[in-house]
Homo-oligomer: A and B are copies of this chain.
Amino acid sequence: MRDDAKSAPLSALERESIEYFISFVQLLGMPKSVGEIYGLLFAAAEAMPMDGVVSRLQISKGSASSGLALLRELGVVQRVYVEGDRRDYYETDLDVAHFADVFFRQRLQPRLENGAERLERMENCARAEIDERKPESEQEPEVKALARVRALRSWQRKGEKLLPFILKLLKK
């Protein structure tokens, strides 16, 4: 039952790669361990089993398992078959774009959609507040509120236009 401290220390290249991807995934709001795993696999010339990930990065089996699952779900890590070995092996292709692509689709897009709904409601609220007070002439603040909602909507639209553009740029 061989255990920890048994595998080669990380090479300089691997360390750099790992740090590169740690900061990358953190930018996308993902946990550090996911970046470590991806960085290791990216630097690795060969596909690697989960054991390898665990022993080289000194992380727990649990983290490795769920990190790899996530990366696989994102489509940035693939499982490969290695003849004569029962274990699953993992590798990355060179297409880092999936990462960003998934980020935009899964984080930005839902946010934008949810934001659009909320804006709709905000506009209704603002209008309702104005109507309620029509008799009184003290309409100022409510009108201002409506103007704000409209300003916000214009930003929301900008975001909505930006998204497909970014996605296109990521596709080569």
Which residue of the partner chain, among B23, B100, B107, B126, contacts A115 with CB atoms under 8 Å?
Answer: B23
Q: Return chain B residues, CB-CB under 8 Å to A129.
A: 11, 13
- Shortest A49–chain B CB gap in Å is 17
Of A52-60, A65-73, A77-85, A136-144, the segment with at least 4 beta carbons within 8 Å of chain B is A136-144
The residues in A between 68 and 112 inclusive whose CB is less than 8 angstroms from any CB of B are 94, 96-97, 100, 107-108, 111
Bin the interface of chain A by size: 35 or more
Encode contact with B along A24-62: 1 for CB under 8 Å, 0 otherwise.
Answer: 100101000000000000110110000000000000000
Task: Name the distance in Å between A83's Cβ and chain B's nearest Cβ.
Answer: 18
Q: Which residues of A contact B (CB under 8 A)?
A: 11-13, 16-17, 19-20, 23-24, 27, 29, 42-43, 45-46, 94, 96-97, 100, 107-108, 111, 114-115, 118-119, 121-122, 125-126, 129, 140-142, 144-145, 147-149, 151-152, 155, 158-159, 161-162, 166, 169-170
CB-CB nearest 10 A-B residue pairs: A45-B141, A94-B151, A13-B125, A45-B144, A96-B155, A16-B122, A12-B125, A20-B118, A16-B118, A16-B121
